[in-house]
Structure 1
Amino acid sequence: MSRTEQELRQLYASTRGMPTGAAKFAVLEEVIRHADALGLVEFAFDVRMSATSVFQHSWAPEKAFLTFSWCLAAYDREPHRFGSGHEHTLLWQFKWMAYSVYQYPEIPLQRGTDLLEDMERRYRRGGHSMHAVLQNRGEAAQFTGEVERAQAYYEEMALTRRDALSDCAGCVPSSQVQTLVALGRDEEAIRIGESAVRSGCTEQPQLIYSELLLPFVRSGLGERAVEAHRAAYRRIRDNPHHLGELALNLLFCVHSGNLVRGLDLIERHLSWLDRPRTPLTEMEFAAAAVAVLSRSQEQNGGDGGAVLRFPTVEGKRRPDTPAAELAVELRERALGIAERFDARNGNTYQSTRIRDWMDTGAIGEPLPLSVFERAANSRGGERLQRLLDQVADRTAAGDLVAAARTRAAAAELMLADEQYAEAAEAAEEAIRELDRLGLTADAAACRWVLARAYRMDGPGGSGVRALRELLDSDPWGREPQDGGPGVSPEAPQRLQPLPLLPARPELEAALGQWLGYGPEAAGWSLAAARGFAAAGREEEALAALGEALARHPDADAEPTDGVLADLLGETGAVLGRLFGEAGAPGRVGERGPTGPTGLTGLAGPADRAVSPTVVVLIAYAEHLQAIGRLEEAAERLRTACALLDAHPDTEAAGRRSTVLTDLGEVLLRLGDVAAAEEFARAALALLEPDDAWEEIVLLGKVLRARGADEELAKLLTEHGLELEDLDD
């Protein structure tokens, strides 16, 4: 299917709000393909430049090679066509290519060498510093096993001036620390690395903290290592881009004697190997996982170790697997990639390094990593301390069920006390134990605690992901266990009630709110409205329907979006039952039968439901205006006016003025200037002038429409407006 230039630009604009992933990649590639077909060279260039950044900062940097190469060749052919600003961006992206190219064993070394030579030539030609070039040469030497040479490059870099093409104060030390760690220069690595922690870079502190874990442990700085692990993991747990950093955190679990934590991380993140960022990070994660699995097997007397249970990810679930079996699989995978690197590099650096990783063990005394072990001085007060003591007592007594349920209760209390990081860790531990004990209902309830803790703790979409997974698992559809999801009647001493799992519509409404704005957010809010209605929770159903309308972008044509079409159809049906197909306000208060959409018993809102009903009417009218159904929009707004008149004490002046203003706008578009003026002046009378910008603008439009030039000029002068302010 061919597309017009306008359609392509709209499609490209839509990618800015899309999460990183296969869907966004596919849209970008479609835009590029059609732009090429239409000969839109400048547009295709801009899209590829943007796509290069998207691919590089995801788990698909190999796609960036193609888009970058195209842009570089196009710029070299016709630099005047694209402008000097693009040259700086291309030189910046050169660093990404030089960094990534060595992480693919299939790419010959000569290609990397040529790329670095080209980079240096272009930087010199532009009068730029060699600071970034030296950093990239150091990284390349590190990847190919020339560690001493890598450090020499970094030392030369430290004596070279920085400029606008240098990496930030966080990323420069981060790249050097890896070499210092390989050389065993831990004290220097810590000194240089810790300067990057507070750099403000979006890639920090997770990168530098992950690199410093081994130096901290080897230097006996256990507390700093634990805090570094906790801080790093909070920032990498939701992004497969950080597969390499996750590998270092897995090794830390081995070094610190926290194999259970390591197994938990493998269960959560093994799916990242389905789309590894690069072969290098794939090899590193596989090797680090082998270290965890092998030490766990040894700890269990060589009987095969624990059985790992993997969550469902994107509709797929890996079968339960014994640790020993998975270790064999991942060992072969890691060594296979290492041998390819050795063949390319002409040495055994990578295979030796990876074997060392897989054979590593604990260093020094075990470090307490569990939140329950570290919480002796918690600020949670007496109730939390009693729960923490109870976890230890029940565990020591062998009452694993009671201990797991108490962990869940403690996580809920930590969340209530706004200890979000601790609540997340406590919930993770509780869920792991509850799952292993088969307490699926309690585990589902604790996942709701985890989702809320994730959302409040750190960046990223961990909370959204956790809530999606909980909804996808549909715990409400299972056989009741211990009285139903989240109900645990045998909880020890009930010092703190165990968390209960809310009804599905409540979680759907929460997910709609967390997603913010867009078709998916609207879809979840609409699902919540249906669920509330089916349960007879009428006011909540109306409120969720209003949320759905507010969260979906206005359409500028007849809706083709499936969510929007469903949303408008459903809203129209509900309002039809409430007020009649024409929106007649005279039907307010009458009751009608259950409608075909499943939103039951909404044909006559009581006083308490006036507010959500008015919100629905306003939002629905806005969508009707956007698609040109002005008569229907006017009827719905008249209904809202009648509701507010019938319940004068339930709404603030701002809400009433909004309805009057919206109705005036619609009537003006319909050509009824006199009625539009009536509503504009009525809305303006409700507000102070400083709060009435939209109302004043509407009145100005009305005066312009009826040719009242003197009155219009006076209005503009009085309120400091220009004629352009009246244009939509």
Structure 2
Amino acid sequence: MTTSSDRGLADALADARDMPDGEARFAELERIAVQAYAVGDPRTALAARFALIEAYLHHGERWRLLEPVRRCLAAVDRTPGLLDPADAQTLRRHQRQAVEAFFGTPRIGLDQARSLLDDLAGRLGPDAEVVAELRCRLADHLGDEPTARREYDRSRYDHSGSARLTPRRDPEQSYDQSGSARLTPRRNREQSAAPDPVGGCPGCAPARRAELLAGWGEHGAALAELRPVLDGEVGCTDQPERALAVAMLPWLRTGEAERAGQAHVRAYRRHRRERAAFPQLAAHLRFCALGGHLDRGLDILAEQLPRLDHPYDDLSAMEFAAAGALLCGLAVEAGRGGRRIHRPGHGPRPASEVDVATLGADLFALATELAGSFDARNGTGHQSGRIASWLAERPLGAPVPLPADAPDDGWPDGSAEDPEPAEEEPAPLSLPMITAALDRRGDGYAVEPDGTVVGRWGEAMIQFRRLGQRGEILHARVVATRRLPVDRLAEAYAFCNAWNHDRLLPKAYVHDPGDGALVLAGDVTTDLEHGVAPAQLVVLLTSTVTTGVAYAEAVAALP
């Protein structure tokens, strides 16, 4: 974004961008914006507020987005032409993020969110998919399910309003327990249309839709929405673990407890440490409570309890507390109420060893307090009712043994006793085959606890993992080490589109993790259902590494 020729303001803005995250940086960026407006320099003021928005996102302060976004919109309306098309698109995306922040905290007023959403509809058009999705989520948050369903259906049609893009449950269409429709599925928007830069990560969209459907009790339809992600057809750096976390309870409720357990074990390996994954922890606790895995659930609660003092947002804190209260209540009923859990000190609260019964009461109080805050803001009782329904749930059946917390969720990896296949003899894909092929190439790599093989080749970080029910799909994810600022999103999409047009591999895409920088990644997926010979696997890995490095080098060469 072009700024003023006033070197004083320009230098101050450059210095502010280099300050550590925190209140001092926020205050300095706001000061520069105010001063720039005062001296008649709207471009520098706008650049400072863009930097402030990105700083809030990076620092996890999404609830503070609304005011700088509103001021940016007002400035652009007063002075058309301030932004080039790429920056205008970035501002629309920040406007969406500001509306989404409403769902996570009661500190943003309902009228403010509606006004910002109406403004976005006026700029993009009332039929824009992102507008329909946000209206759906807003109605669902308020407990207006009929409106939410209506907006959901609008968001699932193309702009002509005539073609439904994914299978939806209807009375004449049956689903199996995995969520698969017994009809030929239509192509997903993520596969058939270019991603909308304003609409957010297309790889995360199926998980958002599945959460809505599961909340309405449509568990088969929720699982159907997740299939493109779980089958490796949709790429995103948060997947497949986020989709697995969403799928756990629908699988559990449709009688596939073993599959739900595999999803839980695999997804929790990642979610246990990632700050941005805190909103997924409630699903893991609820799975343990409703699946009968109380001891594991209490272990997870004890491990994750310190994160409740620094939550991702108020909504995730409410859901974590409610899921923890449910787990503790069931543990008390099962005679485990005397178990003690360490709770670290925070603010005026001293560190202590609390029994499960007391901790459950504390978590119940926190969940109901936060739900009441949301409802007071919303003018409904929906969030309190939702939390009450969670707390009233009971286990869904006898617990099914969980897979060992070892690579690939219990799928066979091969063992030392298995004879190595001949060079040209096809054999089921296994972790030892992947590592042996990399050893033959002389590559350095590491094997993560979940069986993912990770290596660094030049500018590319590449992960190899096995997907599919039998681990028969070789999936490689290439991540370029260079990241681009979010204001270059349109350029990043153009780069990936050009790459996908000119190159076969890897399938390139852009992911916006919401921390102010874009991840440019790529996928290579090979179905090896009928096995793979060691020599063939070396060729496949070599091709992936070669094309992945070329992709990452092309990203590094961008201006």
Give the shorter-chain TM-score range.
0.5 to 0.7
Pick from 415, 439, 449 the counterpart of residue 421 of structure 1.
449
User: 1:321: Cα distance to partner?
Assistant: 1.7
Quote the offset at 1:330 in angstroms: 1.1
What's the counterpart of residue 97 of structure 2?
A: 96
Matches within 5 A, 1:132-211: 132-161=130-159, 163-197=196-230, 198=232, 199-211=234-246
Q: What is residue 18 of structure 2 aligned with on the other side?
A: 14
The one-letter amino acid paired with 2:33 is D
Kept in 2: contact 1:138–1:154 (CA 8 A) = yes
Cα distance change on mapping 1:204 and 1:104 into 2, 3 Å: same
User: Which of 267, 270, 275 is matched with 1:235 structurally?
Assistant: 270
Q: Residues 136 and 152 of structure 2 are in contact (CA less than 8 Å); yes or no, is this contact kept in structure 1?
A: yes
Structure 2 counterpart SS, 1:195: helix
CA distances 1:45-88 after superposition (whole Å, capped 9, x unpaired)? 33432442453465321122233223222222223233333221
**Is contact 2:285-2:327 (8 Å) kept?**
yes
Instruction: Give the Å deviation of 1:169.
Output: 3.2
Greater helix share, 1 or 2?
A: 1
Give 1:239 deviation, angstroms. Answer: 3.2
On the 8 A contact 2:246/2:283 being kept in 1, the answer is yes
Distance in 1 between the 2:405 and 2:268 partners?
A: 18
Shift of 1:121: 0.7
The 3-state SS of whatever aligns with 2:104 is coil
Query: Residue 137 of structure 2 contacts residue 148 of structure 2 at CA under 8 Å; is this kept in 1?
Result: yes
Aligned pairs for 1:155-304 (under 5 A) are: 155-161=153-159, 163-197=196-230, 198=232, 199-300=234-335, 304=337
Which structure 2 residues correspond to residues 443-592 of structure 1 after superposition, within 5 A?
none
Return the offset for 1:186.
0.8
SS of the residue corresponding to residue 237 of structure 2 reads coil
Q: Deviations over 1:256-277 (max 9, x none)?
A: 2222222222222222222333
For the residue of structure 2 that corresponds to 1:262, the secondary structure is: helix
Structure 1 stretches of at least 4 aligned residues deviating more than 4 Å after TM superposition:
3-7, 310-314, 372-382, 456-459
Contact 2:210 2:225 (C-alpha < 8 Å) held by counterparts: yes
| Distance change in 2, residues 1:75/1:235 (3 Å) | farther
Q: State the alpha-carbon separation in 1 of the partners of residues 463 and 354 from structure 2.
A: 32
Q: Distance in 2 between matches of 1:457 and 1:253?
A: 32
Provide the C-alpha distance between the structure 2 equivalents of 1:313 and 1:458, rounded to a whole number of angstroms.
38
**Residues 423 and 105 of structure 1: CA distance in aligned 2, closer, same or farther (over 3 Å):** same
- 1:65 has 2:98 as partner: no
Q: Which residue type is aligned with residue 373 of structure 2?
A: R
Q: Are 1:12 and 1:27, in contact at CA under 8 Å, matched by a contact in 2?
A: no
Structure 1 match to 2:488: none
Name the SS for the 1:151 alignment partner. Answer: helix
Give the AA of the match of 1:182: G
Describe how 1:618-697 pairs up with structure 2 within 5 A: none
Whether 1:28 aligns to 2:6 is no
1:8–1:34 CA contact under 8 A, matched in 2: no
Deviations 1:671-724 (A, max 9, x none): xxxxxxxxxxxxxxxxxxxxxxxxxxxxxxxxxxxxxxxxxxxxxxxxxxxxxx
**Structure 1 pair 204/370, CA: closer, same or farther in 2 (3 Å)?**
closer
Q: In the alignment, residue 262 of structure 1 is paired with which amino acid?
A: G
- Output one character per residue of 1:428-454: Cα deviation in whole Å (capped at 9) or x when no partner: xxxxxxxxxxxxxxxxxxxxxxxxxxx
Q: Cα distance, 1:30 vs. partner? A: 4.4
Structure of larger gyration radius = 1
Percent sequence identity over aligned pairs: 27
TM-score (normalizing by structure 2): 0.60
Q: CA–CA distance in 1 between the matches of 2:141 and 2:327?
A: 24
Task: Name the amino acid aligned to 1:268.
Answer: E
Corresponding residue for 1:463? none
Q: Does the 8 Å CA contact 1:283/1:334 hold for their aligned counterparts?
A: yes
Counterpart-to-counterpart distance in 1, 2:53 and 2:273? 21
Secondary structure of the structure 2 residue equivalent to 1:309: strand
- Number of aligned positions between the proteins: 383
Residues in 2 aligned to 1:138 and 1:322: alpha-carbon distance in whole angstroms:
41
- What is the match of residue 507 of structure 2? none
Greater fraction of residues in strand: 2
Q: What is the identity, as a one-letter code, of the residue corresponding to 2:102?
A: V
Contact 2:278–2:316 (8 Å) recurs in 1: yes
Distance in 1 between residues matched to 2:154 and 2:399, nearest whole Å: 39
Q: Say whether 1:352 aligns with 2:380.
A: no
CA RMSD of aligned residues (A): 3.7
Per the TM alignment, residue 140 of structure 1 is displaced from its structure 2 partner at its CA by 0.6
- Within the alignment, does 1:121 sit opposite 2:122 as a pair? yes
Q: Tell me how far apart the structure 1 counterparts of residues 341 and 394 of structure 2 sit (CA, whole Å).
A: 20
Match in the other structure for 1:81? 82
Among 327, 331, 352, which residue is 2:364 paired with? Answer: 331
Residue 392 of structure 2 aligns with an amino acid whose one-letter code is D
Query: Residue 233 of structure 1 contacts residue 249 of structure 1 at CA under 8 Å; is this kept in 2?
Result: yes
Q: Distance in 2 between matches of 1:457 and 1:379?
A: 23
Which sections of structure 1, spanning at least 5 residues, go unmatched? 16-22, 383-416, 425-455, 460-515, 517-728
Contact 1:58 1:277 in 2 (8 A): no
Higher relative contact order (CA 8 A, sep 6+): 2
1:309 correspondence with 2:342: yes
Whole-angstrom distance in 2 between the partners of 1:84 and 1:422: 43
C-alpha deviation, 1:279, in angstroms: 2.2
Q: 1:158 to 1:353 in 2, by over 3 A?
A: same
> How far apart, CA to CA, are the structure 2 residues paired with 1:260 and 1:4?
61
Taking the aligned partners of 2:64 and 2:113, their CA distance within structure 1 comes to: 17
Deviations along 1:525-562, one digit per CA (max 9) or x if unpaired, are xxxxxxxxxxxxxxxxxxxxxxxxxxxxxxxxxxxxxx
Shift in alpha-carbon separation, 1:243–1:185, aligned structure 2, 3 A:
same
* Shift, 1:32, TM fit: 0.1
Is the 1:58–1:241 Cα contact (8 Å) retained in structure 2? no
Write the distance in 2 (CA, Å) between the matches of 1:312 and 1:420: 32
Q: Report deviation, 1:12.
A: 4.3
Q: Give CA-to-partner distance per residue, 1:347-381, whole Å, 9 cap, x none.
A: 33211211122232322221323626976966565
CA-CA distance at 1:294 after TM superposition: 1.6
Q: Which amino acid aligns with 2:120?
A: M
**1:573-629, Cα deviation, whole Å (9 max, x unpaired):** xxxxxxxxxxxxxxxxxxxxxxxxxxxxxxxxxxxxxxxxxxxxxxxxxxxxxxxxx
Q: What is the Cα deviation at residue 181 of structure 1? A: 0.8
* Whole-angstrom CA distance in 1 between matches of 2:361 and 2:120: 42
**Alignment gaps of 5+ in structure 2:** 1-6, 160-192, 418-444, 453-460, 465-480, 482-559
Matched residues in 2 for 1:295 and 1:89: separation?
Answer: 47
- CA separation of 1:67 and 1:380: change in aligned 2, threshold 3 A: farther
Aligned to 1:654: none
Q: Which amino acid aligns with 1:175?
A: R
Aligned partners of 1:105 and 1:344 also within 8 Å: yes
SS of the equivalent of 1:272 reads helix
State the Cα deviation string for residues 196-240 of structure 1 (Å, max 9, x = none).
343222343333322221101111223332232234323333333
Q: In the superposition, relative to structure 1, how do residues 52 and 194 fare at CA in structure 2: closer, same or farther (>3 Å)?
A: farther
User: What letter matches 1:46 in structure 2?
Assistant: A
In structure 1, the residue matched to 2:354 is 321
Q: Distance in 2 between matches of 1:13 and 1:458?
A: 32
User: Is the CA contact (8 Å cut-off) linking 1:137 and 1:153 kept in structure 2?
Assistant: yes
SS for the counterpart of 1:101 is: helix
